[in-house]
Structure 1
């Protein structure tokens, strides 16, 4: 009976360790995703503003 209990405890510890590893990995991915989203947003904003400036410089604004 003692060996089954010991085997069960080992499985539970292993499962808990895997959950922590998955959590740590997901936190790293979340931080990377947040930083990447901010960088892409800034690049997109610059592209949109430069397109708008190019339109006004080349085509003019005739209202």
Structure 2
């Protein structure tokens, strides 16, 4: 189920990006809730990547 949600959110992010590329960066899309979900998803992915990088840095060298 999570994989499908990720696919759907990725598709919606692509649609948002496409619309903004055609209409301009200031183009507002009345999808505040969707924007918030996509922004939080992006922030979460960034935090996960940061945590993975930190884990790699903290591992002792053998």
Q: TM-score normalised to the size of structure 2?
A: 0.48
Report which structure shows greater RCO (CA 8 Å, sep ≥6).
Answer: 2
More helix by share: 1
Structure ID, larger Rg: 1
